[in-house]
Amino acid sequence: MANVTVIGAQWGDEGKGKIVDWLAARADVVVRFQGGHNAGHTLVVGDKTYKLSLLPSGIVTGTLSLIGNGVVLDPWALKAEIERLEAQGVSITPDNFGIADNCPLILPVHRDLDGLREAAAGSGKIGTTGRGIGPAYEDKVGRRAIRVCDLSHLDELEPQLDRLCAHHDALRAGFGEPPVDRAALLEELRGIAPFVLQFAQPVWRRLNEAKKAGRRILFEGAQGVLLDVDHGTYPFVTSSNTVSGTVASGSGMGPNAAGFVLGIVKAYTTRVGSGPFPTELDDADGEKLGVRGHEWGTVTARKRRCGWFDAVLVRQTCALSGVTGIALTKIDVLDGFETIRICTGYELHGEVIDYLPANAQDQAACTPVYEEIEGWEGTTVGARSWADLPAQAIKYIRRIEELIECPVASVSTSPERDDTITVRDPFAD
């Protein structure tokens, strides 16, 4: 099966947009299978820059783009994003875009609850984007979600609203807020329903047809494995599973659907929001990485925390997601550093370990064990072959391969789509 799954192998923001865009140009279908509109991709195509949060990256090139049932959908955010892209000349119609009819909706009450909790959490803040993703997933699991298919049955929604409001009204009362305005909520849903329903369909069925026809399917992950609700730095994680295995449940295809799993890995490490970060640099080197790498969030504009490459974490995430090969991005940001460090282990309570422990306090107590590598003169910017890279840059890449126990499939040397060294084509596997 010529399928490819792209996941972030760190804390997100690894540069998935460019890689997905490159792959989407040769895919027949691009699918989002988890997350919401809390993670952004920046695509640079020619002289145009597109910022996506919810739409699959294939939509920019007209490739059939689908949102699977594993995503939580804010219909108002979707409408705004589509209108913004259409203003840039992108055509989005039911012919090239579809939404799973069993996809849960993010409602205004979810955004309210997200904000109220974060404001009241004090030192326990998770650092969410406040967009309602977590509360929407809670309602899905709690069997009180309103889904896309329900938008065509709004006159019959009372039992679901009873369940939803019984939960949210109690929480809102605890924060000193009034009950959910059911009439206003219904009115908002009636207003957005026609727009969303034009795209609603059984996505699992369309994917099954594509599979039978031998189409190339690209599964586009959001965030990164270290934000996975099971395997990430809990509780400072997102509310969905970000590992490649989620492709099966989040799209409606079987467990063999993932195909070639491409892990996107930044040549250093960044993180947005709260939580442990063993290799974080609070010095001139950290500032240099942030400035040169333009490390500000696509969606939130929040400054990202920066640090040296952590091989312990990436080895772990590659194992957790069955990564076939990695796409190493932003190698050019390291140009000009005299010395570069790689984390090869952690010291925890006087013992050196080679994995990230599960407990949050232990994670925060981990001190990185570093290996130093000489930097390189010259530039890697725009390199499209190994011959274009400085010898020390190649040495750095090879050392990463050894430490993470996973081969490099490609190396990205600038935001431009063609500035990539391709070692192994995922779609040719």
Task: Please list the active-site residues.
Answer: 13, 41
Q: Which residue has the tokens 């991005």?
A: 329
- Cβ(44)–Cβ(81) below 8 Å: no
Token digits of residue 201: 């369909």
- Classify residue 272 as exposed, middle or buried by CB count within 10 Å of its CB (0-12, 13-18, 19+): buried
**Residue 343 and residue 316: Cα distance in Å, rounded?**
13
- Classify residue 62 as exposed, middle or buried by CB count within 10 Å of its CB (0-12, 13-18, 19+): middle
- Cβ(119)–Cβ(149) below 8 Å: no
Question: DSSP secondary structure string, 123-161?
Answer: GG-----SSSHHHHHHHHHTT---BGGGGGGGGG-HHHH
SS3 217: strand
Question: DSSP secondary structure string, 341-352?
Answer: EEEEEEEETTEE
Cβ neighbours of residue 387 under 8 Å, at least 6 residues apart?
Answer: none
Cβ neighbours of residue 270 under 8 Å, at least 6 residues apart?
Answer: 10, 11, 13, 289, 290, 293, 295, 304, 305, 306, 307
Q: How many CA atoms lie within 13 A of 161 on its CB side?
A: 17
**Residue 406 and residue 413: Cα distance in Å, rounded?**
20
**Residue 157 and residue 138: Cα distance in Å, rounded?**
19
Token digits of residue 82: 């589509």
